[in-house]
């Protein structure tokens, strides 16, 4: 059985305060974007619980930290008769790029296992498993535009349809450490909520819809500022960094003509 985990962008991101558990309360809007990995799971007669393989972009980190494998083992605790599997991940979404690719892979592993092996888990149950894997993972269970609060796991579906626009994703192949990014933020209460700003005309977003991570990341990696400037120069209505970076996205009217001049090693995708 095959699924195609997609990525997300953040429309605005406010870091509100630090919690007693060490996490931060935040406010953001997660919006799904059709840039996809491919994930295949089939039953296996092997003595090993999981025969894992990957292709495409390199999957960073040790195998024991792989969120797909963690998702399988999380379900295995409650479903000890869950079949051994072969799991193959073809990676297209850049890793460590603020697009949530790893979180999407984990959530889609839960969804695939639930469907393939008839576990009959409800959406609420899947969300509970997903939050144990990471703050962004529950979003990909719903996979619809959502206002996210708490540490990103408290989700409220919103009516936001950007299908009339085109998107450009630009990743300069810079890995931004999320822990470092959080350490650079002085949490503050914004004057206006992201939920309010998103309902305004899009041409107001440029001055009001802010990702708090962007300022410190741009100071350390000025290439990101250059990407933003070029996208605006090419006619984007709104440009922002996604998550803690380093991917920058631009929202364009459909049919806009453009001519980018990014370095060859950049990942650039028009959607």
Catalytic entry in 8, 91, 228, 269: 8
Residue whose tokens read 């799991």:
87
Question: What is the C-alpha to C-alpha distance for residues 238 and 251, in angstroms, rounded to an integer?
Answer: 5
Burial readout 178-210 (b: 16 or more C-beta within 10 A, e: otherwise) = eeebbeebeeeebeeebeebbeeeeeebeeebb
Active site residue 70: no
Catalytic entry in 136, 212, 228, 269: 136
Active site residue 78: no
β-bridge pairing 38-43 and 154-157: unpaired
Question: What is the C-alpha to C-alpha distance for residues 153 and 233, in angstroms, rounded to an integer?
Answer: 35
Three-state DSSP class for residue 38: strand
Distance of CA 143 to the CA centre of its chain: 11
Question: What is the C-alpha to C-alpha distance for residues 62 and 139, in angstroms, rounded to an integer?
Answer: 24
Sequence-ordered list of residues with C-beta below 8 angstroms from that of 165, at least 6 positions apart, any chain: 237, 251, 252, 253, 254
Residues marked as catalytic: 8, 136
């Amino acid at each position: 059985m095959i699924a195609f985990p997609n990525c997300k962008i953040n429309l605005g991101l406010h870091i509100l305060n630090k919690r007693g558990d060490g996490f931060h309360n935040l406010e953001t809007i997660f919006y799904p974007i059709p840039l996809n990995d491919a994930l295949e799971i089939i039953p296996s007669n092997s003595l090993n619980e999981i025969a894992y393989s990957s292709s495409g972009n390199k999957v960073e980190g040790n195998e024991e930290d792989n969120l797909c494998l963690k998702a399988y083992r999380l379900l295995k605790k409650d479903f000890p008769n869950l079949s051994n599997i072969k799991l193959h991940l073809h990676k297209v979404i850049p890793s460590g790029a603020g697009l949530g690719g790893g979180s999407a892979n984990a959530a889609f592993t839960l969804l695939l296992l639930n469907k393939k092996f008839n576990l009959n888990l409800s959406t609420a149950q899947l969300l509970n498993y997903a939050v144990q894997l990471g703050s962004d993972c529950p979003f990909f269970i719903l996979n619809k535009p959502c206002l996210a609060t708490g540490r990103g796991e408290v989700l409220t579906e919103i009516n936001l349809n950007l299908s009339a626009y085109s998107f450009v994703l630009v990743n300069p192949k810079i890995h931004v450490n999320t822990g470092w990014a959080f350490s650079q933020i002085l949490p503050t209460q914004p004057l206006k909520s992201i939920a309010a700003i998103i309902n305004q005309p899009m041409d107001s977003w440029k001055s009001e819809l802010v990702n708090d991570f962007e300022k410190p990341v741009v100071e350390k990696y000025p290439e990101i500022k250059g990407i933003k400037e070029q996208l605006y120069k090419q006619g984007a209505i709104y440009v922002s960094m996604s998550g803690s970076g380093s991917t920058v996205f631009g929202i364009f009217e459909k049919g806009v003509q453009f001519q980018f001049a990014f370095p060859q090693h950049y990942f650039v995708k028009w959607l």
